[in-house]
Structure 1
Amino acid sequence: MTSPATPDSALTNNSHEAEKTHILDLFAGPGGLDVAAHFLGLESIGIEWDANACETRYSAGLPTIHADVRTMRTERFDELPDGINVLAGGPPCQTFSVAGSGAGRRALTDVERFIKRLVARKESSEKIDKELDDLGDPRTALVLEPLRWVMAAIDNGKPYKAIILEQVPAVLPVWHAYREVLESGRLPSGVKYRAECRVLHTEEYGVPQTRRRAVLIARLAEHGQVSLPGKTHKMFTRPKGETAATLDDAIREEAEHAERARARRKEPWVSMGKALQKSSKERGRSEPYVVVSNYGSGGDPKNRGRRTSDQPAFTVTGKISRNVVETPDGRPLPRFTIPESGILQTFPPNFPWRGRDQAQQVGNAVPPRFGIHLLAAALGLEEARVAEALGKMNEWPQVSGEERERLRKIGCGEKGKCPHKPPHPPVDPLQG
């Protein structure tokens, strides 16, 4: 395989959209969307605040700027490499998540109102920032950063040709508000996009877990219609009598009856047993097992959901290491390792997880297989290109120590270890 920092020239596509693609991944985490871009043969660069995730990215050979997304936009926008024309991002979801404090969910109406105020440009950014901070959790305001980047790119004369955003399902109303302004012609210079947004189920794209994400895909209006990725696998139907481990599991019941009829011609969903048996090189989990989820249980063992190895995993979160794994008759088995957790997110088995809080890194990531489908839909890539990319996902290329240090030196200005707080080095990870 080629180095992750270099597009795979063996991948071919007739679409000029793909050949000129250079992706900027905001809130990039350990690299889910960037891994997807690599397998599709596309260039990408990520902006990430967390030093631990940066260490993973450098070890994987992924170009990275260790910085605060807001600081990059307001103070360092001109340091970004030339040619960036696709924006992607998944803003931190803690305040919107069912598992979080809920400040963001309570502020959804306010956030939608702020979107209109940002686009109107009748008030200073400082005034809007102050009011956003007063919502109760400063992370809530980060969900507006992608829109601000869209406007900054237009002001710079280089609007993004495509936009891909994903978040927890509770953020869907925000994406609907995004869609309205993107299509309205009220953006600077009258730039218009075509956009679609909806909650998607990752197991319907071959990811061996039931994870629901609110997705928005947009494309410049002159590039034609845009659509969300077509489903490739069936939706997982929770067995009758199974206790929902999360609110996500309960909500999904609403759509299952109609989905059964639509799914007859799709591939079966992928079980965690199949994924780990096929991909895990360090420990083959060949015997049947049961996973007892600690997520959403409130600490009460009676409320803990159970999944067997012939079913998809529960949503992979930063608490996956707390899930109990046992034989069907209750004998304890080793819990999921970080590489196994990564496999359930569809990272290659040998992906080089580094730094601290690795379980959190895994849980925060976009599943790369899902990312491939999102990027392909946004850019209009051919099915053959997607199939080729999916076929390469079982191995990640080795990255030399020299390359890791080069990326770290450029991305955060230090050799040996990434500093805890984002530094301010010159930035050009693709050219440096």
Structure 2
Amino acid sequence: MNDVHAKLDSHFSLEVLADILSLPKKSIESRINKGELAPCPESGLIDKAQVLHFPQVKSIHESRWDEELKIKPIRPYKLIELFAGGGGLALGMEQAGFESVLLNEWDKHACSTLRHNRPEWNVVEGDISNIDFTSINEEIDVLTGGFPCQAFSYAGKSLGFEDTRGTLFFEMARAIKETQPKVFLAENVRALLTHENGKTLEIIKSVIDELGYILVEPKVVKAIFYKVPQKRERLILVGIRKDIFENSKAKFEWPSPYKRIMTLTDAFKKGELYETDVAESAGQIYPKRKAEIMENVPQGGYWRNLSDDLQREYMQGSYFLGGGKTGMARRLSMDEPSLTLTTSPAQKQTERCHPTETRPLQSREYARIQTFPDNWEFQGPLSAVYKQIGNAVPVNMAAALGRSVVRLLNELEA
């Protein structure tokens, strides 16, 4: 296994290189055809030395991950988390050294998960609009949360804090206003960048400014760079309170990427991420005919890898619509990170079939792809478990972001 890892440290598959560079695989193949890249004849892998001029590859090669792991809070930093879900972000922040004062979540099964795993956490279940944050007496260092992306009602006016009332962003902004954390960290879908032609983000920025915070330039963060075997992308917003930031030399720095890209082999097998192979767990199963069709899809393949008659049967009306639809009848590959997990592994548009067995991913496999520890136990029916895991922030990515926030707070304290 170590030989394999040494190879993966110094070589990339075409698929993984495409993910690192945010390019389609065809673009890498085109560079090979032009002679710009030369894969190793035996393995078909690209030697890292050939692509070191790309900044993304260079940052992996020059990773400061091990140094950043040593970042520790110089005093106990207090955290409030909103929209906590099944605990991915909260767990990562805990690993980075934060102490939770309050976690809010309206979903009862997610709250059960949080209480079951951390009985000492103050989990407030229910609607965020009913929480009076002014009643919190402790000084809050950080407020985190992933508010859903919603449209604001534009009535031809430049919207401020009060005008966003009725949205969950308003509730997060209200929590910031009432608790005055030194820093906040919000995560969202990448689509927020272009939502309503960018107007939604502009309003969010103006409200953050109105609340007295400097916004670090928002960044789309890719989970594959942070020791997560999954191609998940999230938009991260970090705000720092102006009154403390303007009088300091502190600067927020995004976390350094890990030194290699994790794959499903890392998620499911004993190795660098986990001390054992993944255990059997509850999972959805395919209807008989669907399983028979999916048997014919190779690792990393999808509906286009089926014979024409099976394509027609499986796709039905979609067969004639053209377009990629690469999530349909999709089987994952052990040699790549997983596609972004959804709230169900067997949805027709976003199929997540196990690489070597013909079945949807099981719940524990789901949890490992999101880098939850094996002892983190999810509560509720299977559908609720998949939903909690599928919506989570990957734990290792959350911890990396958390360490960057700790470093910032340490500088602000100094």
* TM-score range for the pair, normalised by the shorter chain length: 0.5 to 0.7
Alignment partners' CA distance in 2, 1:364 and 1:293: 24
Q: Which amino acid aligns with 2:255?
A: G
Which residue number in structure 1 is paired with residue 299 of structure 2? 290
Offset at 1:88? Answer: 0.4
CA 1:163/1:208 → structure 2, altered by over 3 Å: closer, same or farther?
same
Q: Which amino acid aligns with 1:53?
A: A
Q: 1:275 aligns with which of 251, 267, 270?
A: 267
Which residue number in structure 1 is paired with residue 184 of structure 2? 163
CA 1:200/1:176 → structure 2, altered by over 3 Å: closer, same or farther?
farther
Alignment partners' CA distance in 1, 2:71 and 2:396: 19
Q: 1:84 aligns with which of 140, 156, 170?
A: 140
Deviates more, 1:31-40 or 1:352-361: 31-40
CA deviation vs aligned residue, 1:139-179 (integer Å, no higher than 9, x gap): xx1133222222223xxxxx210100001012234455434
Q: 1:30 aligns with which of 73, 86, 89?
A: 86
CA deviation vs aligned residue, 1:177-233 (integer Å, no higher than 9, x gap): 434443x4x43xxx3435231211111112111111111012223244443523414
Bigger radius of gyration among the two: 2
CA contact (8 A) 1:13 1:382 kept: no
Which residue number in structure 1 is paired with residue 176 of structure 2? 150
Alignment partners' CA distance in 2, 1:199 and 1:334: 32
Offset at 1:83? Answer: 3.1
Q: Does 1:343 align with 2:368?
A: yes
Unpaired runs of at least 5, structure 1 = 1-10, 97-103, 119-124, 133-140, 154-158, 234-266, 384-432
CA contact (8 A) 1:176 1:197 kept: no
Q: Which amino acid aligns with 1:307?
A: L
CA contact (8 A) 2:144 2:185 kept: yes
Please state whether the residue corresponding to 1:312 is helix, strand or coil.
coil
Unpaired runs of at least 5, structure 2 = 1-68, 282-297, 304-313
Which residue number in structure 2 is paired with residue 39 of structure 1? 95
Offset at 1:79? Answer: 4.2
Aligned residues: 287
Alignment RMSD (CA, Å)? 3.5
Alignment partners' CA distance in 2, 1:293 and 1:354: 32
TM-score, with structure 1 as normaliser: 0.58
CA contact (8 A) 1:175 1:216 kept: no
CA 1:219/1:210 → structure 2, altered by over 3 Å: closer, same or farther?
same
TM-score, with structure 2 as normaliser: 0.60
CA deviation vs aligned residue, 1:14-37 (integer Å, no higher than 9, x gap): 754xx2311111011011121112
Deviates more, 1:305-314 or 1:208-217: 305-314
More contact order relative to length (CA 8 Å, sep ≥ 6): 1
CA contact (8 A) 2:354 2:361 kept: no
Which residue number in structure 1 is paired with residue 114 of structure 2? 57
Alignment partners' CA distance in 1, 2:265 and 2:98: 31
Which residue number in structure 2 is paired with residue 380 of structure 1? 407
Which residue number in structure 1 is paired with residue 238 of structure 2? 217
Q: Which amino acid aligns with 1:77?
A: F
Alignment partners' CA distance in 1, 2:90 and 2:168: 20
Q: Which amino acid aligns with 1:319?
A: S
Q: 1:202 aligns with which of 223, 242, 248?
A: 223
CA 1:15/1:63 → structure 2, altered by over 3 Å: closer, same or farther?
closer
CA 1:326/1:375 → structure 2, altered by over 3 Å: closer, same or farther?
closer
Please state whether the residue corresponding to 1:82 is helix, strand or coil.
coil
Which residue number in structure 2 is paired with residue 3 of structure 1? none
Alignment partners' CA distance in 2, 1:194 and 1:205: 23
